[in-house]
Amino acid sequence: MRLLLFAVCVVLVCASADAWFGRRQGGGRGGGRGGGNGRVRTAVDRTREAVQGAGDMYRAYSDMREANWKNSDKYFHARGNYDAAQRGPGGKWAAKVISDAREGIQSAFRGQSEADRRADQEANLWGRNGGDPNRYRPEGLPDRY
């Protein structure tokens, strides 16, 4: 739950940045009837995607904890990133922010090795870029996951 709240806070802080929403095609601001509607719609879409993507990341984390299956960590990393990225650019962004934050915390406070961190990030990137998470699925993991 804390991870989801963190992600929502990050999304809200970034909600007004041009880098987050991109620029509208067709040049400057305003410019005729409903000039800002495209940008507002994009902002709402990206924010919704990011919140839903954070939910996907939380669900993968929750499933990993529930499954408690040996060598399943990379699978759940890839699955969470994959599911979030399928939401759209906002979901992909949320997956990257959450994954990077999680890896940073694990490296700093839990003593995760550099090799483990790199392997986790490889699985994160694989899923975020649309790769099949089942590449990392361990033998015997119940179909429920």
Burial 23-61 (b: 16+ CB within 10 A, else e): eeeeeeeeeeeeeeeeeeebbeebbebbbbbbbbbbbbb
Is the pLDDT at 139 greater than 90? The verdict is yes
CATH of domain 41-139: 1.10.132.110
R_g of the chain computed on alpha carbons: 17
pLDDT per residue as tens digits for the range 61-94: 999 999 999 999 999 999 999 999 999 999 999 9
Is the pLDDT at 137 greater than 70? The verdict is yes
pLDDT classification of 26: cutoffs 50, 70, 90: very low
| C-alpha dihedral, 106 to 69 to 2 to 102, nearest 10° | 30
Give me the mean pLDDT over the 104-116 stretch. 87
Is the pLDDT at 14 greater than 70? The verdict is no
Is the pLDDT at 5 greater than 70? The verdict is no
Domain ranges of the chain: 41-139
pLDDT at res. 106 = 86
